[in-house]
Amino acid sequence: MSEEKPVEAEKEDEEEIEVVEERLYTFPFRRLWGAPRRKRTPRAVRMLKEYVKRHMKVENVIISNEINEQIWARGISKPPRNLKIRAVTDKEGKVIVYPPKAG
């Protein structure tokens, strides 16, 4: 049996990262709707990574589980039209994409 991490532990992991830079973006998936229906959501994930790479000027981008679940929430053929994200750079130069903080 595998044990799942409690939600509090995930938040602590996020806070353990030494934040160098943090930016908020609203990513439009506008160009995505020209893609074939069954390729839209996988393409949305690739487009999001490319967008963050271009704007944060890094090569290593990691998408958090929360953002991945938001993109895949309506299935493979209906990703969201827009998505608010928070891109956090740590001291190793990795960028991790999280949902924006509530508040």
The domains found in the chain, sorted by start residue, are 24-98 (3.10.440.10)
Instruction: Please tell me the predicted confidence (pLDDT) of residue 86.
Output: 96
Sequential pLDDT tens for the chain (103 residues): 555 555 555 555 555 778 889 999 999 999 999 999 999 999 999 999 999 999 999 999 999 999 999 999 999 999 999 999 999 999 998 999 999 988 6
pTM score, whole prediction: 0.81
| Token pair recorded at residue 75 | 């299935």
d(CA 2, CA 102): 30
Rounded to whole angstroms, the Cα distance separating 40 from 64 reads: 19
